[in-house]
Chains A and B, each alone.
Chain A
Amino acid sequence: MDLINAVIVLLNYTIIPALTYGSQLALGAIFVTLIYGILRFANFATGDMMSFGTMFAVLLTYYFQSIGINFGFLPTALLTIPFAIFMMILYMLIIDQTVFKYYRIKKSPPVMLAMVSVGVMFVTQAIIRIIIGPTDRRFLDGEKFILKATEFKEMTGLAEGLTIKSTQMITIMVTIIVVAIMFWFLNKTKTGTSMRAYSDNEDLALLSGIDPKKVVLITWIIAGILATIGGILYGLDKSYRPFVYFNNMLPIFAAAIVGGIGNPYGAFFGGYVIAFAEIFLTYAYKRFLVYILPESLEPNSLMQLLSTDYKFAISFSILVIVLIFRPSGIFEGKRI
């Protein structure tokens, strides 16, 4: 019985939150990695682009709520995803045409493009703050919990409860669906294959008649979908605040590089690596150990490896370690 309780504690406080957070990071990391692999630059506007898409979801959710549309027990925000994605893609394409295209055609070094993306970051941040302001916003409605701790305790008769928030379930499900479709698209369709070819060797791809304009367009569209969905899922699970989205860029970068930048599978995996590391290293294991250890060995401290203040620092340290020992990432990404 104690063992089951211990497992439930772990599941409740570490594994489910880590899976959720990992999914959110994974979507962002695939976004970073696609831009890096195909357009060949580190996009410092990542966090703010995600925030931009989410902003429309928030505004539309408020609008839908005001005219009385809802999605039953699911959050209304899910209904707004298509519109938010549309606006996001529109914005990305405008930015691409007015800003990035010039440097791409000139074949500027990647650093130049990264610098330009810093400019885009500033502008996007300004637009977001001017439209919606910097405050914290919650836009989750519908059922909050799928499984409440008390219900679970009654059902099973265990001492520990298991809580599953609806946002956690939605995040994991949506991520699986989106990522599955995307990998299918990249591997099985002709357009996806041409994108991978373009990413591997641009000159060769051009020789075999792949239209670079189309590849770039499709890349931005996929990027827009990933960024918006990732952003909305994060916002539903926590809350929407522009500054937090900007900060999220950093663990997302870490996830993309840890997995091997330029490699979507790696990025997907990297998201979970970062999330699990962050949560496992900052979780206080006292309750878990109380269940599995005999009474004489019970710990009297919190048994926490690192304080939760260092959550971000952990992901960055992992990145640094990976960069030193295996610069191309866990899965082979682009060579540095």
Chain B
Amino acid sequence: MRNYLNIIIAYSIMLLLIILVGIFQSWSIALTIFNYCMISAVMTLGANIQWGYAGLINFGIMGYTALGGLAVVLVSVAPVPEAWSVGGVNMMTCLGIIILMIFSTRYILKNIQKSNKRNYLVAGIIIVGLILIKIIAGPAIEQIEAVDPAKTGFLGGLGLPVLFSWIVGGLFAAGLAFIVGKVALGLRADYLAIATLLIAEIVVSIIKHEDWLARGVKNVIGLKRPAPYEIDLQTSPWFINLVEKFHSAKLDLANSLSERQDILNQLVIDASSVYVKLCFAGMFLVVVIILLIITQKALYSPWGRMMRAIRDNEEAASAMGKNVVKQHLFIFILGSAIVGIAGAMMVTNDGLFTPGSYRPMRYTFVIWVMVIVGGTGNNFGAILGGFVVWFLWVEAAPIALFFINLFTAHLPETNEIKIHLINSAPYFRFLLVGIGLLLIMRFRPQGIIPEKIIKQ
């Protein structure tokens, strides 16, 4: 029990902070923060698997998150029949060509000895393939993008339930991780960091600029939701009754029937948004708990021990007959898949896919701060890191505003420095997170909840 005491204390403080936000700001904001904390927690679980278990540095979190988001669009949006009829065949042919290219390259790499001839063959296949794709896809893309460009202009998705896309998001991310891993995992740590960072940028720029795929920077809005819509709730009698029952004391204070009705309407509107967010929170909680149980079991299994051994001494582990390369690739895929799930969850929560918003600052570096602050190699720590840092990230502006007002209270309202500082309050989040990271790395490098190794 004592082992878990500090974890319980840390989590209680975190929960208390969110409840305080609920009391002082509003429950809707508190739940929004809570939901985003959960999504961040899933991302940190993924990054922690790579960094904490295996010591692999992955600065490409942004790319996997974006792919997860893309999965939501491709799975849940209804297909656009006109677009399919004008360009579907060509696009499918291109897909076929890409698959053919991959298999023929593989065949050549396997069956021909390492030589100049092999290099030329591979290069030839790639160049011919790219030219073919350009010729076939070019007109098709133009036609697809011309189909009602204000609303669609893309192929659409499969029209399946949105929850299914969380799994697909994980698979997409795993696929990317397989390619990245094959290419970059042999590199030394800081090269790996740079390479993954840049590959993620490539992925995001493809999603941004291939409009036929997911409308690019024109965004996809109004995605399906696994939770009820506010507007439906506000008109359904059972929900109104529930709110009435819940707030009966407050409603009884009303003087007249019309006033009572007004208060009730307001309460129903507030409650509907809280209810929707609670639904999301429940789903996210289920995902976090499932992932936590799996990762926790894995960490203390023989496999987890092997990963730690590889992390701490690669040569020794490989001398013991462990296949370091294969295990690194495996764990890289696993962690990235979890990040992909988080990306899909986030887009589902927002209800819109905005490729322009994927920036390395927010989706890579902040996530890394979470992992390091929370505790590398400890899943409870990683989740806590997600909560703490996200909370700081969101609440930094109000906190900064409070302190600015406190310290400049003696200055008149028209003082330029004061106005400038108040206007730049949103940027204090960078300062807070940066200083937090530097302090943790200096004085508690193992994180708030350090890694625990059970010794028998």
Contacts and interface: CB of A to CB of B under 8 A. Distances in A.
A316 B199 contact: yes
A219 to B, nearest CB: 18
Query: Looking at chain B's contact residues, is the secondary structure mostly helix, strand, loop, or mixed?
Result: helix
A82 interface: no
Nearest to A102: B442
A133 interface: yes
B430 A336 contact: no
A42 B190 contact: yes
B201 A130 contact: no
Contacts of A102: 442
Contact of B441 (A112, A126, A254, A317): A112
A309 B431 contact: no
B199 A324 contact: no
A323 B183 contact: yes
A208 interface: no
Interface in B411-456: 421, 423-424, 427-435, 437-438, 441-442, 445
Interface in B207-265: 208-209
A114 B57 CA distance: 11
Contact of B438 (A44, A120, A129): A120
A319 B195 CA distance: 8
B57 A111 contact: yes
B189 A99 contact: no
A307 B134 CA distance: 12
B365 interface: yes
Interface string B66-78: 0000000000000
A291 B208 CA distance: 34
Contacts of A114: 57, 189-190, 193
Interface in A58-116: 99, 102, 109-112, 114-116
Interface in B170-215: 183-184, 187-191, 193-195, 197-199, 201-202, 205-206, 208-209
B372 interface: yes
A127 interface: yes
A118 B205 contact: no
B9 interface: no
A124 B438 CA distance: 12
A110 B190 contact: yes
Interface string B34-62: 00000000000000000000000100000
Given A111-B189, A116-B441, A253-B198, A133 B57 contact: no
Contacts of A285: none
24 contacts: A114-B193, A115-B437, A118-B368, A119-B438, A123-B431, A125-B427, A126-B429, A129-B427, A130-B421, A130-B424, A133-B424, A134-B427, A253-B197, A307-B209, A309-B205, A310-B209, A316-B199, A319-B194, A319-B198, A320-B183, A320-B184, A320-B199, A323-B184, A327-B187
Interface of A: 41-42, 44, 99, 102, 109-112, 114-116, 118-127, 129-130, 133-134, 246, 250, 253-254, 257, 307, 309-310, 312-313, 316-317, 319-320, 323-324, 327, 336
Nearest first, the 9 closest Cβ-Cβ pairs linking A and B are A122-B434, A126-B431, A126-B430, A129-B427, A123-B434, A316-B198, A119-B437, A309-B209, A119-B438
